[in-house]
């Protein structure tokens, strides 16, 4: 009995030691990553932006260089989950060869219905250095990507700008796409001038109530619309290239996406009317019906269904009636769970 008790105590002690060792190792790895982040911030000159972060409208003032995290959930060290060819964007972005999509972890918006919530919440992804990111851009170009597609990049803009400069010096020639939920500050978008060719922003809500309910951002519309105005200023006209095989690819311009949500038909109409009255046919508008509930929403029962086919058709008819000519619509449901890529660090 006594021997058995001693054995159990020894086993518990060993377990405790192993756990303490694992915790120390993890802590040492975190410290090493932050050291790299500090070195990079000094080298590329964005130390101040990371020490008191106001990159997005959340304006957390987090000292991300010391490893702290704001609303986006990210420190100053880039974290990304995948860099690979991606075929599910608008046809003029994906083309036949695919778009070179880099999916960044974390998100300053964090909508309750997010289809990529595991990556948006920062649960997956790996640390990536600025140089490593530049190398990933060049590798994607080498694989035949039609563009570099930066997905949810807002909270890493200074790091991405440094990586883009480095990659461009080393021969990156394909267009760069900035793919965002649009909860952005104009000052941050200005850091990208001359580096980004195509802006692919969402305009999700018109009403502050919906923006608050689903994204905790009642100022979403005014903030996002100002950011989009800056994007249009930087890329004021759409330029396309038509290839011999008939593929048409965007080289420059702005495509604003609007994902229709169940029960928000009026909100959608106001968004489309605003975009058309403000920009006419200078921008492209992508009207999306791919909303799919990824789980059961107890607090948002209205989100537990997809958008009806008729409701979507009525929205498309409305867009045509008010004169939108440059647009993309989705035929049939494209929202299968299998469209969510694997967040396994591919390409990083």
Binding site for ligand SF4 (CB under 6 A): 53-56, 58-60, 62, 64, 70-72, 108, 155
Q: How far lies 212's CA from each of 96, 112, 219, 288, in Å?
A: 38, 10, 8, 21
Q: Which is nearer to ligand SF4, 98 or 108 (CB)?
A: 108
Q: Strand, helix or coil at 235?
A: coil
Q: How far is the CB of 26 from ligand SF4 (least distance, A)?
A: 22
Q: How far lies 322's CA from each of 109, 135, 257, 315, in Å?
A: 30, 45, 17, 11
Element (DSSP H or E) covering residue 250: strand 248-259
Q: Which is nearer to ligand SF4, 110 or 257 (CB)?
A: 110
Q: How far lies 205's CA from each of 29, 44, 60, 182, in Å?
A: 41, 36, 23, 11
Q: How far is the CB of 134 from ligand SF4 (least distance, A)?
A: 21
Per-residue buried b or exposed e for 264-294, using 16+ beta carbons within 10 Å of the residue's own CB: bbebbbebbebbbeebeeebbbbbbbbbbeb
β-pairing verdict for 126-128 and 78-86: antiparallel
Q: Which is nearer to ligand SF4, 95 or 158 (CB)?
A: 158
Q: How far is the CB of 301 from ligand SF4 (least distance, A)?
A: 29
Q: How far is the CB of 180 from ligand SF4 (least distance, A)?
A: 12
Q: Which is nearer to ligand SF4, 56 or 80 (CB)?
A: 56
Q: How far is the CB of 59 from ligand SF4 (least distance, A)?
A: 5
Beta bridge partners of 259: 288
* Angle between helical axes of 2-44 and 157-169 (0-180°, round to 10): 60
Q: Which is nearer to ligand SF4, 72 or 307 (CB)?
A: 72
Q: Which is nearer to ligand SF4, 50 or 164 (CB)?
A: 50
Q: How far is the CB of 141 from ligand SF4 (least distance, A)?
A: 28
Q: Strand, helix or coil at 258?
A: strand
Q: Which is nearer to ligand SF4, 104 or 205 (CB)?
A: 104
Q: How far is the CB of 324 from ligand SF4 (least distance, A)?
A: 32
Q: Strand, helix or coil at 335?
A: coil
Rounded CA separation 284/297 (Å): 32
Rounded CA separation 93/79 (Å): 24
- Chain residue at closest Cβ approach to ligand SF4: 70
Q: How far lies 245's CA from each of 69, 86, 95, in Å?
A: 47, 20, 11
Rounded CA separation 62/56 (Å): 12
Q: How far is the CB of 201 from ligand SF4 (least distance, A)?
A: 16
β-pairing verdict for 99-104 and 148-151: parallel
DSSP, res 341: P
Q: Which is nearer to ligand SF4, 50 or 166 (CB)?
A: 50
Q: Which is nearer to ligand SF4, 60 or 164 (CB)?
A: 60
Rounded CA separation 344/231 (Å): 31
Q: How far is the CB of 54 from ligand SF4 (least distance, A)?
A: 5
């Amino acid at each position: 009995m006594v021997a058995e008790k001693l054995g159990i105590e020894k086993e518990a002690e060993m377990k405790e030691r192993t756990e303490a060792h694992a915790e120390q190792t993890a802590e040492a790895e975190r410290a090493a990553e932050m050291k790299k982040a500090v070195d990079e911030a000094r080298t590329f000159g964005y130390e101040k932006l990371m020490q008191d972060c106001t990159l997005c409208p959340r304006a957390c003032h987090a000292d991300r260089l010391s490893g702290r995290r704001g609303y986006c959930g990210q420190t100053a060290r880039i974290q990304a989950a995948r860099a690979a060819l991606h075929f599910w964007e608008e046809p003029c972005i994906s083309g036949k060869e695919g778009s070179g999509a880099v999916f960044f972890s974390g998100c300053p918006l964090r909508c309750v219905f997010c289809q990529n919530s595991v990556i948006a919440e920062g649960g997956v992804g790996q640390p990536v250095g600025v140089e490593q990111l530049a190398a990933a851009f060049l590798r994607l170009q080498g694989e035949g990507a039609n563009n570099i597609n930066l997905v949810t990049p807002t909270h890493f803009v200074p790091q991405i700008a440094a990586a883009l400069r480095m990659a461009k010096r080393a021969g990156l020639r394909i267009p760069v796409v900035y793919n965002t939920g649009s909860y952005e500050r104009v000052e941050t978008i200005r850091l990208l001038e001359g580096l980004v060719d195509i802006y692919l922003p969402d305009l999700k809500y018109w009403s502050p109530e919906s923006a608050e309910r689903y994204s905790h951002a009642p100022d979403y519309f005014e903030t996002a619309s100002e950011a989009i105005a800056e994007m249009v200023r930087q890329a004021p006209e759409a330029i396309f290239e038509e290839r011999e095989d008939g593929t048409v690819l965007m080289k420059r311009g702005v495509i604003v996406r609007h994902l229709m949500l169940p029960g928000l038909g009026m909100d959608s109409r106001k968004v489309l009317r605003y975009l058309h009255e403000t920009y006419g046919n200078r921008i492209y508008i992508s009207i999306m019906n791919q909303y799919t509930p990824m789980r059961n929403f107890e607090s948002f029962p209205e989100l537990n269904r997809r958008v009806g086919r008729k409701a979507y058709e009525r929205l498309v008819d409305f867009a045509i009636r008010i004169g939108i000519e440059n647009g993309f619509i989705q035929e049939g449901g494209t929202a299968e769970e299998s469209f969510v890529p694997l967040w396994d660090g591919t390409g990083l």
